[in-house]
Amino acid sequence: MSPFIRASGISLVALLSLGGCKSLAIGAVADALSGTGGAFAEDDDPELVEAAIPFGLKTMESVIVQTPEHRGLLLALCSGFVQYGEAFVHMPAERIQTTDFARAEADLLRARKLFLRARRYGLRGLSVGRDGFEERLRKDPATALPALEVEDAPLLYWTAAAWGLAISTSKSDLDLVADLPIVTAMADRLLALDPKFGEGTAYELLMSLETSRPGGDLKKARAYFQLALELSRGERAGPFVSFAEAVTVKEQNVKEFKELLGKALAIDPDKVPAQRLANLLMQRRARWLLSRTSDLFLDSGDEPVEGEASP
């Protein structure tokens, strides 16, 4: 999970109320809001961030109406809705499925809507200056994607992530599930443009896509995991948690499952401030997964791992 977006400290009310300078003011707001920074990523209070993000997203949506082709703002909206939807709607919904099924289903539907919303902004961003890009992408990714360049990598990543997460929360929507090859083609193009993108997040995305498709190659997924781990220098809990959940459960390798989640929990969130919030959130998921070991494995073993007791 990459750094969270943050809203600028600029007084939006003052800027948006300017008369003759309104278009200039809107442009300034769009530029400010589209920036990313460490205000959220470095925070150690996930609940505070969860409460703050929606206001920033809605503010940006009000500005994008006035600047519909601002690529930076479209990127911020795409990445923001993906991160908010995954960290604060989708993952919490999965944690309550066994205790409050109705609420979990409602939240999963909400997460799906947020991911589709993010996808719309991402596709809009990729289409700026490329008339008909989305139509070409849907029809034949192999001919559409070569038009993208290295500066498109962030939009490409977040759009693919949004699309992939929408698919993962829409298993009964066969039309959407059929889009999985498009998302995989987007991830492949991202890797071709920037193999080191996001310190391994491109490989982490490919790993998730490989394990999601019917007949996915778990050996290939393992290779992606190793590359993600190498590029992240072991400083991100995400690769450990994602691989443990996506691969070791399928392989019923409970020993490796516990070892990987133990490594995720051993990461000091304060060591890399830019990854603090992401690591705290993924460590929360690691504890929850460990608490479900007996549900996920036929033979759950009997050796506890640090953090296993508290989901």
pLDDT tens per residue across all 311 residues of the chain: 343 333 333 343 433 444 445 454 545 454 555 454 456 788 888 899 889 889 889 988 998 998 899 999 999 999 999 999 999 999 999 999 989 999 999 999 999 999 999 999 999 999 999 999 999 999 999 999 999 999 999 999 999 999 999 999 987 888 999 999 999 999 999 999 999 998 889 999 999 988 888 888 899 999 999 999 999 998 999 999 999 999 999 999 999 999 999 999 999 999 988 889 999 999 999 999 999 999 999 876 655 555 544 44
Say which CATH topology domain 209-311 has: 1.25.40
User: How far, in Å, CA of 82 to CA of 74, rounded?
Assistant: 12
Q: Which two tokens stand for residue 50?
A: 């969860």
